[in-house]
Structure 1
Amino acid sequence: MTPAQSAALRNISLGEFVVLIAAMMAMTALSIDIMLPALPAIADAYNVLNENDRQMVVTAYVIGFGLAQLVPGPISDRFGRKSPLLVFLLIYAVASVLIVFAPSFEMLLLARFVQGIGSAGPRVVALAVVRDCFSGRHMARIMSYVIMVFIIVPVIAPSIGGALLLAGHWQWIFWLLFGASVLLLAWSGLRLPETRAEALRLPISVGSLVRDFKTVITNRVTLFYTIGTSAIFGCMLAYINSAQQIYADIFGVTDAFPLVFGAVACVLAVASFLNGRLVERLGMRLLGHGAVLAFILIAAVHLGIALTETEDIYLFCILLGANFLAFGFIMANFNAMAMEPVGRIGGTASSFIGCVQTCGAGILGYFVGQAYNGTVVPLLASYVAFGVITLIAALIAERGRLFAARWAPPNQPLPHDVADRTASAGSPAD
């Protein structure tokens, strides 16, 4: 961290900073996972007959979230991080109220789309703030701890949603989301430091936006690690879309669904903790690339078992948890490697990465969810396919080399694809 960056964080402890960034990023997980137990109730309320159409409550949010991420990044590069964050949180809060009073399923989906737009600000600003203050393996370590904290949300969110359903109505879930957004708005407004220096804020113009997005898109490392994370994130959204049906229809898990869903999600927290402890010593590439290979192998074995139709709930959760363990290593390190070369335009880069990741994953997850046929085969086949796509993307990013750390000799320029790194020359790029 530079002296200026250290000054930016002088009034907030590292622990509070990590928890606040995690809370910002967790808005998406909370917005999706807390209402999974309510999908049948929502479908009944609006007389939705096709069970797979319930998944649109998730997909509408994800598409709004993904598309909107193109906006807050460039704005936060120009006006600073805090103001755009607060505006988007306000949009989220208003959309949450609109969902409660939606007169039809179509209007509910529209309000969910707007809610997704509102959650784009916290996600983009969170990643940009971390990139403002950290780089290289330090950034990967911080991101690991952020992910570890925010994983608590998908672990407990379905249980909270289930409890609210037992106590009242599905609309209570969205009142809770409204309250969470207001709380985060107040916390960020009072405690989050402004990490975008005045000297770095450039006027917004069509030319500058085109130039900045061109810089991001034409950076091989950023582009292909973004494509890789989009594919692997598609595995997660495919699971989320069909999880309630898989557990209820195939394994007969209904009342215990929140507990089983949360128990499997706990593995992500373990992966993030381990990555945070190991990444500064072993490097992002060794951990990230190794995790991709493990992900493909585990998914292929799991698919083979599923095709024999001998799987039970215990084996399913164990193997799925193993995949999630690998997923945790992949996301933390691939996101850090994607952001590493483009720190100068961190907000714009975060917007691009978030948009491609979420929209790509949302589309992939939607089609896998719609392919649900009463078995886990479509889900596991997608895990193998998307894992291979992620591996290919990493190979292209690294010009065919896996596990290789990039070092910049002292007083020598960094490699061209990491040229505008803010870390000092002589430190490991990985």
Structure 2
Amino acid sequence: MTSTAPAVTPRREIGFKELVALVAMLMAMNALAIDSMLPALPAIGEGLGVGDANQRQWVVTAYLLGFGVTQIIYGPLADRFGRRPVLFSGVAIYVLFSLLAAFAWSFEALLAARVLQGVGAASTRVLAVAIVRDQYEGRRMAQVMSLSFLVFLAVPILAPSVGALILMLGPWRWIFAVLGLFGVAILVWSALRLPETLKPENRMPIDLRRIGAAAWETVSNRLSIGYTLAMAVIVGCLFGFINSAQQVFEVALGNAAIFPIIFAMVGCFMAAASLLNASLVQRLGQRLLSHTALIGFTLFSAGHFAVALSGHETLITFAVLQALTMFCFGFIGGNFGSMAMTPMGHIAGTAAAVQGVISSVGGALIGFFIGQQFDGTTVPMTLGFTVCGLATIAIVLWTERGRLFSAHEAASAEASQI
């Protein structure tokens, strides 16, 4: 691992604002790799001979599976070698396969490159969480993650428009070249400015028994596994929306041209929620905010499903109801993630990896299932959101032993072992 890391020492200690921005950009690498593809899916299908629109969704899902499955590798490596060298290696892999995807000669070759691109990007998810957990915990960690999520949301807001702009200037292959250049920029920034946040005394050898014990602790801790599973289900809604979005606008709503605008509007509502969460979480707490938002998410999803099922779906109803639903989502992600990590500080790298595999792979599969149900209407997507919202509420109730909005005292005191 150490041979691939740039031998650069950061010039001075990174500040709070710059750390937030860098973590946000690490997270944004994934959003850009996913969302910039959406306007290009018809062109990719035409260029590589894929006529079935639902099959084109594999361009998104292949990346998500590579991203999800391999996170378990990066946690133990980050706990052994430190955060910097593992991050640099992962981003380098991301850059390499972004560029190889630009030269894909078949749909199968493109999917293989996308899987491996996701393998490299998986390091950013694990390391972003571990780096923040090295520095902060509890509500302060939730604040950092919310602020990072706010900056990160600027990318998915703009990514479909960026993808559409690139398509106006050149072929779809150029999008992958842009992804590679973005990865290079992040690699240089991290090498110059990011310090090693793992203290030398906290480094752990790669011991399969220790890793297994840490993984078992992660999945046997009630708070950790409960909020990780809840995150997987709720993220599945986001991936379902992403998988379906291009077809929804082109087929169900008959207005593909407005897709980047509505997508950006929905992203703005998510960003606004994250900003509010960052300012309110220290005062109101993660549970009150996220649990209230989860109920709102489910109610708006159910209302949207009723509109779609009744045949009264229009561009306006879709835009308004989807924006309100994803506004609620903006209060959920960062809070669920920080609560899952709260009891895992002593094994942050491995825990972040295990939680990342479960939430990412689970979310990808749920999102792919929702996307594959597309039938020319918004009914499958809105039904999927409603069912997932109800399932997430059930998981949270189990996690908190039947209590919402505040911690169950016994669970909090005993670290919530199952």
TM bin (shorter chain): over 0.9
* Cα pair 2:400 2:408 within 8 Å, conserved: no
* Cα pair 2:11 2:193 within 8 Å, conserved: no
Match of 1:20 among 12, 19, 22: 22
- The equivalent of 1:57 in structure 2 is 59
- The equivalent of 2:359 in structure 1 is 357
- 1:41: how far off? 0.5
Instruction: Classify the secondary structure of the residue corresponding to 1:255.
Output: helix
- 1:290: how far off? 0.8
2:401 is the alignment partner of 1:417: no
Instruction: Classify the secondary structure of the residue corresponding to 1:242.
Output: helix
- 1:406: how far off? 6.0
Match of 2:48 among 46, 49, 69: 46
TM-score (norm 1): 0.93
In 2: Cα distance, 1:102 partner to 1:67 partner: 23
CA RMSD of aligned residues (A): 1.6
Distance 1:186 1:47, change over 3 A: same
Q: How does 1:68-79 map to 2 (within 5 A)?
A: 68-79=70-81
2:383 is the alignment partner of 1:381: yes
* Cα pair 2:27 2:152 within 8 Å, conserved: yes
Match of 1:87 among 61, 86, 89: 89
Paired AA for residue 346 in structure 1: A
In 2: Cα distance, 1:71 partner to 1:239 partner: 28
Instruction: Classify the secondary structure of the residue corresponding to 1:70.
Output: helix
- 1:9: how far off? 11
Instruction: Classify the secondary structure of the residue corresponding to 2:403.
Output: coil
- 1:403: how far off? 1.1
- The equivalent of 2:248 in structure 1 is 246
Distance 1:414 1:320, change over 3 A: closer
- 1:326: how far off? 0.8
In 2: Cα distance, 1:251 partner to 1:79 partner: 50
- The equivalent of 2:7 in structure 1 is none
In 1: Cα distance, 2:52 partner to 2:382 partner: 23
- The equivalent of 1:308 in structure 2 is 310
- The equivalent of 1:347 in structure 2 is 349
- The equivalent of 2:299 in structure 1 is 297
Q: How does 1:27-176 map to 2 (within 5 A)?
A: 27-176=29-178
- The equivalent of 1:369 in structure 2 is 371
Match of 2:195 among 193, 196, 201: 193
Instruction: Classify the secondary structure of the residue corresponding to 1:417.
Output: coil
* Cα pair 1:34 1:161 within 8 Å, conserved: yes
- The equivalent of 1:257 in structure 2 is 259
- The equivalent of 1:422 in structure 2 is none
* Cα pair 2:35 2:160 within 8 Å, conserved: yes
In 2: Cα distance, 1:281 partner to 1:83 partner: 37
* Cα pair 1:283 1:405 within 8 Å, conserved: no
- 1:318: how far off? 0.7
For structure 2, the 5+ residue unaligned runs are: 1-9
In 1: Cα distance, 2:168 partner to 2:358 partner: 37
* Cα pair 2:269 2:323 within 8 Å, conserved: yes
In 2: Cα distance, 1:264 partner to 1:9 partner: 39
* Cα pair 2:72 2:353 within 8 Å, conserved: yes
- 1:145: how far off? 0.4
The one-character-per-residue Cα deviations of 1:195-237 (angstroms, maximum 9, x if unpaired) are 1000000111111111110110110110010000000000000
In 1: Cα distance, 2:251 partner to 2:178 partner: 29
In 2: Cα distance, 1:417 partner to 1:61 partner: 34
* Cα pair 1:38 1:170 within 8 Å, conserved: yes
In 2: Cα distance, 1:254 partner to 1:291 partner: 30
* Cα pair 1:232 1:386 within 8 Å, conserved: yes
Paired AA for residue 219 in structure 2: I
In 1: Cα distance, 2:247 partner to 2:373 partner: 12
* Cα pair 2:11 2:192 within 8 Å, conserved: no
- 1:405: how far off? 3.6
* Cα pair 2:297 2:328 within 8 Å, conserved: yes
- 1:407: how far off? 6.9
The one-character-per-residue Cα deviations of 1:105-131 (angstroms, maximum 9, x if unpaired) are 101000000000010001110011111
2:275 is the alignment partner of 1:273: yes
- 1:418: how far off? 6.4
- 1:155: how far off? 0.3
The one-character-per-residue Cα deviations of 1:38-72 (angstroms, maximum 9, x if unpaired) are 00000000110111111000010000000011111
2:206 is the alignment partner of 1:208: no
- 1:10: how far off? 6.6
* Cα pair 1:340 1:418 within 8 Å, conserved: no
The one-character-per-residue Cα deviations of 1:358-393 (angstroms, maximum 9, x if unpaired) are 100111111111110001111011111111111111
* Cα pair 2:12 2:193 within 8 Å, conserved: no
- In the TM superposition, structure 1's runs of 4+ consecutive aligned residues that sit over 3 Å from their partners are 405-408
- 1:11: how far off? 1.3
* Cα pair 1:229 1:335 within 8 Å, conserved: yes
Distance 1:93 1:116, change over 3 A: same
The one-character-per-residue Cα deviations of 1:403-426 (angstroms, maximum 9, x if unpaired) are 124679xxxx9712169xxxxxxx
- The equivalent of 2:4 in structure 1 is none
TM-score (norm 2): 0.95
Paired AA for residue 322 in structure 2: L
In 2: Cα distance, 1:77 partner to 1:10 partner: 23
Match of 1:331 among 330, 333, 342: 333
The one-character-per-residue Cα deviations of 1:280-335 (angstroms, maximum 9, x if unpaired) are 10000101111111111111111111111112111111111111011111111111
* Cα pair 2:153 2:267 within 8 Å, conserved: yes
- 1:79: how far off? 1.1
- 1:343: how far off? 0.7
Paired AA for residue 271 in structure 1: A
In 2: Cα distance, 1:406 partner to 1:187 partner: 42
Paired AA for residue 50 in structure 1: D
Q: Report percent identity of matched pairs.
A: 44
Instruction: Classify the secondary structure of the residue corresponding to 2:54.
Output: helix
